[in-house]
Amino acid sequence: MDGSDRATEHAPSSGNLRVNAPDRETVNDPRVPDSATQSGNPSISPRIPASRPILFLSLALTGGIADLWSKAFIFSWRGLPSENDIWWIVEGYLGVETTVNIGAVFGLGAGKGTLFAAFSVIAALGISVWLFWFKAAISLWLTTALGLISGGIIGNLYDRLGLWWESGYPVEWQSGVRDWILFQIPGVPFFDPWPNFNIADSLLMVGAGMLLYQSFFPGPLADSNLEITQNASHSEDLGSGAS
């Protein structure tokens, strides 16, 4: 038997050659990376869960409405600044006192109300683009944080635009923000007193704190968000396949 005969003997017959094709479920399983994902093909990316826009809008609108309603109620109840004394909730520490902030958060940047209003509009547009164009909304943490920040923007932007201002009020209040929460710790520098604030300021600070936390601890949050998104996408694929 020569070399060609031995090669023919060991070569598999084309009639018996079988290639096992992956089943549909394996192909759609997000836990099995495809070649495009491994190669970093940007044309293939996770989908934003349908619940993310709902969550974002719910937080933004609820936060904005809560802030505007609370300011209208408190100013109707306690009057304009200096019209009534402080109404204490916790004597000497936490109370209600109406003020008008003509600066930014916590009184910073006084007299720049129009500039802050323009910045707020730009920030709101940037948040929308970041979430839904660049798909940051895949992250539940980022969606929540930016929803809270957007609620704060809505509440304070309403005041910055002078929509609450009435004829007879001081002109400088026209781009000012209504504040009513008084907090202080007597004898402690920087907290004696803390500048008055409102619900919108609180939403902004909580949202910013969440962003700061993720910047320091991105790993666990990113992994959990990716897993949730993959599971949701996999469920949708199975559902569409069954139909």
Identify the CA nearest to 222 among candidates 135, 134, 140.
Answer: 140
Angle at 195 between CA 152 and CA 212, to 5 degrees: 50
**What gap in Å lies between CA 80 and CA 173, rounded to an integer?**
11
Q: What is the pTM of this model?
A: 0.72
pLDDT in tens, 53-72: 999 999 999 999 999 999 99
Percent of the chain with pLDDT over 70: 67
Q: Each residue of 152-198: pLDDT tens digit?
A: 999 999 999 999 999 999 998 998 999 999 999 999 998 988 999 99
Q: Which two tokens stand for residue 167?
A: 């004829």
Contact 170, 78 (CB under 8 A): no
Residue 114 lies in a domain: yes
Q: How many CB atoms lie within 10 A of CB 80?
A: 14
* pLDDT for the residue numbered 181: 97
Residues 6 or more apart whose CB falls under 8 angstroms from that of 9 comprise 1
pLDDT score of 73 = 98
Q: What is the pLDDT of residue 102?
A: 86
Of 161, 200, 160, 157, the C-alpha closest to 180 is 200
| Annotation marks residue 67 as catalytic | no
Q: Is residue 41 scored above 90 in pLDDT?
A: no
Domain count, the chain: 1
Examine the pLDDT at 34 and tell me if it is beyond 50. no
Q: Which of 29, 201, 223, 237 is catalytic?
A: 201
What is the SS3 assignment for 87?
Answer: strand
Q: For residue 82, is it within any domain?
A: yes
Residue 11 lies in a domain: no
Can 179 be counted among the known catalytic residues? Answer: yes
**Residue 70 domain flag:** yes
Active-site residue among 29, 34, 85, 179?
A: 179
Residue 7 belongs to a domain:
no
Inform me whether the pLDDT recorded for 211 exceeds 80. yes
pLDDT number for residue 113: 67
For tokens 């709101």, name the residue. 124
Query: Chain-wide mean pLDDT for the chain?
Result: 80
CA distance 214 to 222: 9
Range 193-207 burial, b when 16+ CB lie within 10 A, else e: eebbbbbbbbbbbbb
What was the pLDDT predicted at 19? 47
| Residue 177, in any domain of the structure | yes
20-42 mean pLDDT: 45
Which pLDDT score is estimated for 27?
Answer: 45
Per-residue confidence (pLDDT) for residue 217, from 0 to 100: 85
Domain containing residue 149 = 49-223
Q: pLDDT digits over 80-130, tens only? A: 999 999 999 999 999 999 999 987 655 555 556 678 788 999 999 999 999
Classify residue 243: in a domain, yes or no.
no
